[in-house]
Structure 1
Amino acid sequence: MLLSLLMTVLFSIPAVFCESPDPAFNDDVLGLIVFKAGLLDPESRLSSWNEDDDTPCNWAGVKCDPLTHRVTELTLNSFSLSGHISKSLLRVQFLRKLSLSDNNFTGSINPILARLGNLRLLDLSGNGLSGSIPGELFGQCWLLRAISLAKNNLTGSIPDSLASCLTLEGVNFSSNYLSGHLPSKIWSLTAVRSLDLSNNLLEGEVPNGIESLYDLRSVNLGKNKFTGNLPDDIGGCLLLKSLDFSENLLSGVLPWSMQKLSLCTSVGLRGNSFTGELPEWTGDMRSLEILDLSANNFSGPVLNSIGDLQFLKELNLSSNRFTGSLPESLANCKSLLAVDVSQNLLTGDLPGWTFKLGLKSVSLSGNRLSGSIEYPSSPSGAASIGSLEVLDLSSNAFSGEIASHIGNFTSLQFLNMSVNSMIGSIPASVGDLKAARVLDLSRNRLDGSIPPEIGGAVALQELRLERNFLTGIIPTQIEKCSSLTTLILSHNNLTGSVPLALTNLTELETVDLSFNHLSGSLPKELTNLSHLLTFNISHNRLQGELPVGGFFNTISPSSVADNPSLCGSVVNHSCPAVHPKPIVLNPNSSSDSSRHGSLSSNLRHKKVILSISALIAIGAAVFIALGVITVSVLNLHVRSSMSRSAAAVTLSYVDDFSHSYTTESNYGKLVMFSGDAEFVAGAHALLNKESELGRGGFGAVYQTALRDGRSVAIKKLNVASLMKSQEDFEREVKTLGKVRHHNLVALEGYYWTPSLQLLITEYVSSGSLYKHLHEERSKYGLSWQQRFNIILGAAKGLAHLHQMNIIHYNLKSSNILLDTSGEPKVGDFGLARLLPALDCHILSSKVQSALGYMAPEFACQTVKITEKCDVYGFGILTLEVVTGKRPVEYMEDDVVVLCDMVRGALEDGRAEECVDRSLQANIPVEEAIPVIKLGLICASQVPSNRPDMEEVIKILELIQCPSEGQEELE
């Protein structure tokens, strides 16, 4: 074909085109056709590119000069293209704009692009480019006006040669992995108007000299690791409109020169360590529309001068140490739409301007505000709050009743008044909150019943009313809230039954009705709630058989505890069988005397036996009673002796199942492997229900702090199946305490008594991987790179365990914790070592919540349990991370097993469809597909077919950094 001949000529002797041009072909056509040949075009977006055309000016993405008909712009954004950028583009000699953003280009940046001498704009953002930014790229940039390499996987430092591009007006290298210091020469780019280096790994101090960028309009260095102070000369950029240094490690006070930024409309400094008071000159920045100083260490009062910012739209001072009351001068900020001053030390009443400015969002939570809440009741007042969408007054000291005027908030989507001292009943007008998605009135002193009108809040997704004094029944009208996913009514005085109406709330994920006075039986139709993750009905008066099927096959026993009349396998209480009616003998029926005499004799004999049985039962009861009295006396004697022993250590804890929170003292041994062994809250608060983090197969987990400042997690072990020997227990725990790896949750210590065993571990603040994948996706969305790092980190942690001959036995996403940097830490490892023997029945009951992760050999007592069981669980975990789906999902009419679903998709050539839809479209397929295949190999049914974890790590590292293949022809 002619195209093949052209490519052969082009790549063999480049000079041929200069010496013997073929007049039948335009250079632009030739260059673009060869460029296309190096691309993959899955959507045929370049189908209009025809080599037989005399000119490319009508091709998709191509723009020509109307006079010369030479190509000047090539814009192929979001074409789903991949492949390499060929040097054939050099033939497009008059190209001024090259934009290939939001495609799937991979590999390193080709420095040949520097030879496009007429280029004004280069945009390669939103691809999968990797490696460092080549310094040669800026060798011939005398005409370059703008460059964007954002949203790639670039590493290394910013090359000094960038400073030679003196015509640059826009630089965007954001959302990469660039590191090193910010080169001071960057301030020589005096023509720059926009500089965005955010979301990288840049470090060190931001050098002075920024004032030389006299034409600078926007600078964003946020989400890096910069230290030191803000540049003192930042105020010299008099035309600056947007300044963002958020989420760094900056400190000190705000430089005085900032007051000269009179044209600045946006200041973002959140997430640093700035100190001092809010400067009085803040009011001089009269053009400010957005001021975000949140998550710093600012202190002192919020000054009245802030009311001079009449164009202010968003004010965020949250998570600082501001004191005093909020200034009434904010009423002058007529453009204000959002105020967030949560998590400070503010006092006083609710400001009068709260409901008068037409705000969309108000967050005052976590302060010390008090007094009653006055809602507008007049039509004019109601009009002023018609736009309010978010109102968060939680964790203050507000009192009084919730007025019926609350129904005037017709646009309200989020209402949180929890943790206050509100009294009275819930007004029926809450049903007028048609747009409300979250309603949280928990932890107050509310009484009365839940109004049936609650069904009018049809958009509700989360309803929290726990820890009040509510009475009455759960209204059936709640079924109208069809989008409800979270329903928490625990710790109230509710009565009646669990309404059948709940079974119509098909989106429910979390239900907590514990600590009430509910009675009656549970509707069997609850098994149809396919999205359930938690259903807690403990500490009620429910009776009858637990539903069987769906979520209820794996429900935790603690979720149904203290309902004495409930029956079913979960509560270890068999339900009474339905017996047939007894046979009644007719005394008048005809029979011979011998049969009648025999029958009478048998009846007398049974009466004698019954009497003997009764006597035996009475005697046994007496014997048991005497035994109980004897043991009690001995226990009192032993406890008395122990209390006198100087070597005894006392630890009190709160029984978390007790509604009255009574305490019980135990005497035992508290051992910390390192550091302080004293708790800030005191021993009595260690196992308080308020500090509970979650529950698993081996027990509940709580959070507390040590005197030395460290936060720790405490796991209260279920003691029913644990080894009874203190010596054996301590030996195994000390073995686990020696395990140290940055991808493993460190065991810090333990506590032992025969009736209470605690494990003390490091506290990992960002919660479990399960939460990030399934519970709070919108808030904790994980990128592909984060997911890959989680998979790799979990593999490294697991491999370290296997090197120490420790089997995890219970690997699942809820046992993978993420620290603040997103690094995974594998927890709950080796707890099966605390069982008296690795009995399959006991072990499987402990890890019953790991449904879908358990290797098939667990079901066979004749097969040896090895590290390959962990490899199987890791394979399932890998598929869960990539797909965002649970290992087993219960649908309305089917049960979907993740492993089978992915394997089927792979066999049908649809593996890409399995990748979590919440991820961006530019997922590196060359990484995702091999990771999926690796997960399936690890989850092989045959243990010998599964790789070792060390092999898994090598494969993952190869997927992430593939070896260089044969170089592409250029």
Structure 2
Amino acid sequence: MLLLRLAGSGRGPPPTHAFHSTPAALALHCSPHSPRNCFSRKWTTRRCDPSSHLPPPPPAASRWPLPPASSLPSRASSSPRPRRPTSALTDDVLALVVFKTGVSDPSGRLAAWTEDDDRPCAWPGVGCDPRTGRVTSLSLPDSSLSGRLPRALLRLDALASLSLPRNNLSGPVLPNLLVALPRLRSLDLSSNRLAAPVPDELFAQCRSVRAISLAHNQFSGYIPPAVASCSSLVSLNLSSNRLAGPIPDGLWSLPSLRSLDLSGNELSGSVPGGFPRGSSLRELDLSRNLLAWEIPADIGQAALLKSLDLGHNLFTGVLPDSLRRLTGLRSLNAGGNALTGDLPAWIGEMWALERLDLSGNRFTGAIPYTVANCKNLVEVDLSSNALTGELPWWVFGLPLQRVSVAGNKLNGWVKVPDDAAIALRVLDLSSNGFSGEIPPRITAFAGLQSLNLSSNSFSGRLPAGIGGMRLLEVLDVSSNRLDGAVPSEIGGAVALRDLRMGRNSLTGHIPAQIGNCSSLIALDLSRNGLTGSIPHTMGNLTSLQVANLSQNKLNGTLPVELSNLLSLHIFDVSHNMLSGDLPNSRFFNHIPQPFIAENAGLCSSRRNDSCSTVMPKPIVLNPNSSSNPSSLDTPTAPSNMHHKKMILSISTLIAIAGAAAIAVGVITISVLNRRVRARASAPRSAPAIALSDDYFSQSPENNATSGKLVMFGKGSPEFSSGGHALLNKDCELGRGGFGAVYKTVLRDGQPVAIKKLTVSSLVKSKDDFERQVKLLSKVRHRNVVSLRGFYWTSSLQLLIYDYLPGGNLHKHLHECTEDNSLSWMERFDIILGVARGLTYLHQHGIVHYNLKSSNVLLDSNGEPRVGDYGLAKLLPMLDRYVLSSKIQSALGYMAPEFACKTVKITEKCDVYGFGVLVLEVLTGRRPVEYLEDDVVVLCDLVRSALEGGRLEDCMDPRLCGEFSMDEALPIIKLGLVCTSQVRSNRPDMGEVVNILELVRSPQDSAEDELV
């Protein structure tokens, strides 16, 4: 109806604009109650933006002509509707209605937008100029809108503010958006799913725009250099996208720019200098990119800076001296880089500083005392450096709320003065060399929420005053030298969620008062000398998810109240002296065996465990009784009788039982020897290693050719080629750090690969070895090699895997000719498959430890499978230095954490190895190459080539013509991020898989947009 009125009814000249077009008129003529039927004719022929049927925007100086009054149709109603005051208002209504048809509105936010209204000013999200009635603002945050950004927006030429954050809009941004909206001052399209490169035209005529936010989208490509021409720009936020390349020159010279956020992208190269005196910059965030080289020396010229974030990049060198001029700076973050040198004393000249983060660098020397001049400091993070000396006094002298100096080389006693400020909320002194007693005064910090003193050399008792810290949520004093009992006052810390006291020398009982800590989620008291029983009050900890009480001297039974713990995921009481039946609950009925191992008396009838191992009470035998001698008897003889009673103690019974067992053993061995001699006289077709059913058969281990074979799942356990094939050089497939691998065939014809471990003297006990191997046998994933079984003797251990005919990745990369080398798509699929396999292992708590190309195998379809996982768990006597010597072939894949004894090896080490593997797959080069007079490290080579714009030179020449650098660039950058020297900068493998899947199946490109 609206369009027909605009087009005229034959009683006057038609408008001069394109709306007189009959197809367009028919397309727009639809019920206002079902606007999605509009343009249906167009949508059936091609995918398009419905707003594309609108006429082109008029020149800025003209308006569409208003039709004569006589040409406007009259209504049949007796109360005719008021005419629209101007054609401009008509345009706004039409544009917004078309906007509505162009997006999906599942929440009905736009339900009130109807073409029957003369003015849109009362519509949700629409704001108007009270004088002219024109639409000046469109604000629809968190409205669940989806679809492409409608071109109808270009008709709202009086718009001053466009705000559509936190929706699901997709596709590219409209290139001529700022040109078509000459009065626009603020543009916010953040937190959507907008993709494609940021068009150069967007900033070509940015005119009077003051604020632009495209943050948290999926924009790629470079930042258009034209952005440096937006002289009125006050705020620019392009954070959390996929923007790459350098930072454009000239940004620092924008006269009005106060806030610039480019964080969370893939920007590389050096940060350009040229910060002018008198710069208006107040906030600058370049964090979480790949920016390298030194921080610009003149950055201190931006004297008005209040917040500067350079964290988590690749910056090297020292903190530039010009920073001392930023006396008004409130927040400085340069953490997660590779900065070196001593912490400068001039930090104390930054009087206004409230937050200081220099963590994760390579700073050395003492923490400067001049920091005490920063009276406004609230947060300080100097963790993960190489700082030395004592803890500075100002840690307890300033009104600080959060302090972390973890992971340094600080030492000495921790001294808390009597007049210490008590504002601390978080204190982390972990992984240093602090010694002496934990100062009791620290318990006076009533507001403390997290206290981490782990991995130091603290001694003595835990202060009883801990119980008075009613806001304390995290207490970690693990890996120290604490002794004495767990204080019963601990029950007063009712807010505790995470309590860790493992790996100390604590003694005594677990206090019953611990049951008062009803908020506990994690409890670790492992590796101490605790005795007594587990208190039944632990049944009150209904939020408990993880409990580790292993490797103590606890005895008695598990209290039945533990069945109340419905949130339990881990309850480890292994290596104690517990006995009796397990509690009856879903968790304890299916508790993994390692959690209760080395407790000879623990059993469960619900788990089909025999409870006969529970030690009986002593039996008293009456020698005068004629009844069964094993029956219980109560002494009734007169006191003057001289007959003596015989009392058999437990030790006597054990001796008798042992003798009986020996006799049975002798008989059994005799029978077995007779069978062996009988078999020796008959023709032999089966090997010495044989199995008659699905589980195992045993023979004496003093026979070098016999042992215990266990096969998991289906398949014949016998080897058709005989046991000699396991050690036959002709069947050897290769050798690694843990041993040689041989190929053999099961009796049913299935080939298997058998690894002969060459570290026998360091392998766990038989039971522990079997337990760990059986855990590994449960690993089932298409990108992980399956463990089929194992063989055990005290001098020989074999692991049996699926055989994969495709060989290992190392051979395909480094030993194949150009004719049969891996293609681009094959390499990408291998990278993605390995990432999925590692993700699966990490989700099941398995750290690979030894990832490299020779441990990635290919099946007959070229699908990659990760092998040799979890073997380090079989070798508890190996520390990382011994293991490193066993894996010399892994040189170049090993994360820098291996060089630091105090740093825990985690999944992030596998992420580092995966990053190296990515670069190896794409470049075809080895992780480390030894030349005549030089050593080339692949990570450094690729990073240098990326920063110098010479990345093509690094790519495998055998891939020539199969790919474009646009395809390779995000994968290479991902590899470099994974090989970050700072492990906190490395993504999780789950994040890696998500990124690779997005690279493989990107969103619809801008080419899909129809005009």
Q: Compute the TM-score of the two structures, normalised by the length of structure 2.
A: 0.61
Q: What's 1:372 paired with?
A: 437
Out of 670, 677, 690, the position equivalent to 1:623 is: 670
Q: How does 1:568-579 map to 2 (within 5 A)?
A: none
User: Which residue identity is paired with 2:351?
Assistant: R
Q: In the aligned structure 1, how far is the partner of 2:565 from the partner of 2:593?
A: 14
Q: How does 1:292-303 map to 2 (within 5 A)?
A: 292-303=357-368
Q: In the aligned structure 1, how far is the partner of 2:858 from the partner of 2:56?
A: 54
1:496 counterpart SS class: strand
User: Which residue identity is paired with 2:404?
Assistant: D
Q: What's 2:541 paired with?
A: 481
Q: Aligned in 2, Cα 1:111/1:617: closer, same or farther, shift over 3 Å?
A: closer
Out of 30, 34, 48, the position equivalent to 2:94 is: 30
1:502 counterpart SS class: helix
Q: In the aligned structure 2, how far is the partner of 1:72 from the partner of 1:197?
A: 28
Q: What's 1:317 paired with?
A: 382
**Displacement of 1:147 after TM fit?**
0.5
Instruction: Check whether the contact 1:527–1:548 (CA below 8 A) recurs between aligned residues.
Output: no
Out of 172, 183, 188, the position equivalent to 2:237 is: 172
Residues 309-338 of structure 1: CA distance to partner in whole angstroms, max 9, x if unpaired?
A: 1100001000000001011133442x2001
Q: In the aligned structure 1, how far is the partner of 2:914 from the partner of 2:489?
A: 46
Q: In the aligned structure 2, how far is the partner of 1:765 from the partner of 1:315?
A: 36
**Displacement of 1:27 after TM fit?**
2.0
Out of 359, 366, 372, the position equivalent to 1:307 is: 372
Q: Aligned in 2, Cα 1:672/1:421: closer, same or farther, shift over 3 Å?
A: farther
Q: What's 2:64 paired with?
A: 18
Q: What's 2:790 paired with?
A: 719
Out of 412, 418, 436, the position equivalent to 2:478 is: 418
User: Which residue identity is paired with 1:565?
Assistant: T
Q: In the aligned structure 2, how far is the partner of 1:243 from the partner of 1:398?
A: 37
Instruction: Check whether the contact 2:286–2:311 (CA below 8 A) recurs between aligned residues.
Output: yes
**Displacement of 1:353 after TM fit?**
5.2
**Displacement of 1:473 after TM fit?**
0.4
**Displacement of 1:375 after TM fit?**
1.5
Instruction: Check whether the contact 1:767–1:817 (CA below 8 A) recurs between aligned residues.
Output: no
Residues 850-895 of structure 1: CA distance to partner in whole angstroms, max 9, x if unpaired?
A: xxxxxxxxxxxxxxxxxxxxxxxxxxxxxxxxxxxxxxxxxxxxxx
1:803 has 2:849 as partner = no
**Displacement of 1:94 after TM fit?**
1.2
Q: Aligned in 2, Cα 1:146/1:304: closer, same or farther, shift over 3 Å?
A: same
Worse-matched range after superposition: 216-225 or 48-57: 48-57
1:232 counterpart SS class: coil
1:565 has 2:613 as partner = yes
**Displacement of 1:770 after TM fit?**
5.5
Q: What's 1:105 paired with?
A: 169
Greater RCO (Cα-Cα under 8 Å, separation 6 or more) = 2
Q: How does 1:655-666 map to 2 (within 5 A)?
A: none
Q: In the aligned structure 2, how far is the partner of 1:725 from the partner of 1:428?
A: 50
Q: What's 2:582 paired with?
A: 522
Q: In the aligned structure 2, how far is the partner of 1:535 from the partner of 1:714?
A: 23
Instruction: Check whether the contact 1:195–1:218 (CA below 8 A) recurs between aligned residues.
Output: yes
Q: How does 1:146-545 map to 2 (within 5 A)?
A: 146-211=211-276, 214-333=279-398, 335-352=399-416, 356-376=421-441, 384-527=444-587, 536-545=595-604
Q: What's 1:793 paired with?
A: none
Q: In the aligned structure 2, how far is the partner of 1:76 from the partner of 1:68?
A: 22
CA-atom RMSD in angstroms: 5.0
**Displacement of 1:279 after TM fit?**
0.1
1:187 counterpart SS class: helix
Q: Aligned in 2, Cα 1:824/1:10: closer, same or farther, shift over 3 Å?
A: closer
Q: In the aligned structure 2, how far is the partner of 1:29 from the partner of 1:275?
A: 61
The structure with the largest alpha-carbon Rg is 2
**Displacement of 1:499 after TM fit?**
1.8
Q: Aligned in 2, Cα 1:674/1:462: closer, same or farther, shift over 3 Å?
A: closer
Q: In the aligned structure 1, how far is the partner of 2:673 from the partner of 2:52?
A: 103
User: Which residue identity is paired with 1:538?
Assistant: A
Instruction: Check whether the contact 1:769–1:817 (CA below 8 A) recurs between aligned residues.
Output: no
1:89 counterpart SS class: helix
Q: How does 1:861-876 map to 2 (within 5 A)?
A: none
Q: How does 1:92-131 map to 2 (within 5 A)?
A: 92-114=156-178, 115-131=180-196
Q: How does 1:737-886 map to 2 (within 5 A)?
A: 737-738=808-809, 769=839, 801-804=859-862, 819-820=910-911
Instruction: Check whether the contact 2:431–2:455 (CA below 8 A) recurs between aligned residues.
Output: yes
Q: Compute the TM-score of the two structures, normalised by the length of structure 1.
A: 0.63
Q: In the aligned structure 1, how far is the partner of 2:913 from the partner of 2:2?
A: 53
User: Which residue identity is paired with 1:456?
Assistant: N
User: Which residue identity is paired with 1:117?
Assistant: P
Q: Aligned in 2, Cα 1:822/1:185: closer, same or farther, shift over 3 Å?
A: farther
**Displacement of 1:769 after TM fit?**
3.2
Q: Aligned in 2, Cα 1:346/1:231: closer, same or farther, shift over 3 Å?
A: same
2:226 counterpart SS class: helix
Out of 935, 938, 960, the position equivalent to 2:1002 is: 960
Q: In the aligned structure 1, how far is the partner of 2:470 from the partner of 2:799?
A: 63
Instruction: Check whether the contact 1:817–1:825 (CA below 8 A) recurs between aligned residues.
Output: no
User: Which residue identity is paired with 1:510?
Assistant: I
User: Which residue identity is paired with 2:64?
Assistant: C
Q: Aligned in 2, Cα 1:769/1:265: closer, same or farther, shift over 3 Å?
A: same
Q: What's 1:60 paired with?
A: 124
Residues 207-265 of structure 1: CA distance to partner in whole angstroms, max 9, x if unpaired?
A: 11133671100000000001101010011011001000111010100000000000000
User: Which residue identity is paired with 1:429?
Assistant: E
1:565 counterpart SS class: coil
Q: Aligned in 2, Cα 1:957/1:146: closer, same or farther, shift over 3 Å?
A: closer
1:5 has 2:60 as partner = no
Instruction: Check whether the contact 2:149–2:171 (CA below 8 A) recurs between aligned residues.
Output: no
User: Which residue identity is paired with 2:369?
Assistant: N
**Displacement of 1:407 after TM fit?**
0.5
**Displacement of 1:820 after TM fit?**
3.6
Q: In the aligned structure 1, how far is the partner of 2:844 from the partner of 2:802?
A: 37
Q: What's 1:547 paired with?
A: 606
User: Which residue identity is paired with 1:803?
Assistant: N
Residues 172-218 of structure 1: CA distance to partner in whole angstroms, max 9, x if unpaired?
A: 00000101111123223231100000000010111111336711000
2:346 counterpart SS class: helix
Instruction: Check whether the contact 1:48–1:59 (CA below 8 A) recurs between aligned residues.
Output: yes
Q: Aligned in 2, Cα 1:675/1:212: closer, same or farther, shift over 3 Å?
A: farther
Mind listing any 5+ residue stretches in structure 1 that lack a counterpart?
553-559, 568-580, 582-613, 640-666, 702-712, 743-763, 777-796, 828-922, 932-952
User: Which residue identity is paired with 1:461?
Assistant: I
1:81 has 2:145 as partner = yes
Q: Aligned in 2, Cα 1:729/1:108: closer, same or farther, shift over 3 Å?
A: same
Q: In the aligned structure 2, how far is the partner of 1:187 from the partner of 1:303?
A: 32
**Displacement of 1:418 after TM fit?**
0.3
**Displacement of 1:357 after TM fit?**
2.9
Q: Aligned in 2, Cα 1:543/1:826: closer, same or farther, shift over 3 Å?
A: farther
1:769 counterpart SS class: helix
